[in-house]
Structure 1
Amino acid sequence: MKNFVIAAVSGALLVISGHGIAANIEAGKKKAAEVCAACHGPDGNSPAPAFPKIAGQHASYVEKSLNEYKSGARKDPIMAGMAAALSKEDIENLAAYFATQSGLKTKY
């Protein structure tokens, strides 16, 4: 019973905080085509070894990374510029989209 109460309260807090609301994967796909595809590929499987593959990454990792580029906590002039124009919703949608993609292994 104690575990049930803890789970119920945790779930309620997630919903209240907004993290329990599903991101829009289709919106993330569209934004990825506009912002990310040139370097990371349309599905996050970068065709070039200079750019990391982000397909299949955990949504929380992609979201954290983009927020850190946007805030300046993580330094990269190109990514900072890309992330600066993204809204909170854009970041959540992109993270959800890339998390649903298959991370393909490519030989360079």
Structure 2
Amino acid sequence: MTRAFTLLSFAALAFASTSLMAAGNPEAGKTKAAVCFACHGADGNAVDPQYPRLAGQYNAYLQQALHEYKSGGRNNAIMKGFAATLSDQDIEDITAYFSSLPTKLSTLQGHIQGDR
């Protein structure tokens, strides 16, 4: 009985944390993400292969990436500068916008660093 309760507790916690990660407003995110469009495209599908395509990415992944740029956990001077100005709500809104967009990736071929 205790094991079932523990599993149920972890499942509820996982569901709650997933809901919290998706709390952003995509419409507000579209406005806040305007500066991102120069590299990542307004539709999140960057044309230049040096910039990641953000459309359709997992919301939690995008939030983690932005928080890591902001904290220095990911080392990219350009992204660190942009992320440094974002509040937690900004990050939630921007990632809600990009994760809600349809991706144009049909495969990862040619889109993975080092892939030729």
TM-score (normalizing by structure 2): 0.74
**Partner Cα separation in structure 2 for residue 86 and residue 59 of structure 1:** 16
Q: What are the residue-to-residue correspondences of 1:1-108 with 2, within 5 Å?
A: 6=8, 10=12, 14=16, 19=20, 22-33=23-34, 35-105=35-105
**Partner Cα separation in structure 1 for residue 77 and residue 58 of structure 2:** 23
**Partner Cα separation in structure 2 for residue 21 and residue 92 of structure 1:** 7
Identity of aligned pairs, percent? 44
Q: Which deviations, in whole Å up to 9, do the C-alpha atoms of 1:4-29 show, x marking residues without a partner?
A: x937x826x838xx817731110111
Number of aligned pairs?
103
**Partner Cα separation in structure 2 for residue 47 and residue 10 of structure 1:** 40
**Partner Cα separation in structure 2 for residue 66 and residue 20 of structure 1:** 13
- Runs of 4+ with deviation above 6 angstroms: none
TM-score (normalizing by structure 1): 0.79
Residue aligned with 2:95, SS: helix
Give the RMSD, CA atoms, in angstroms: 3.0
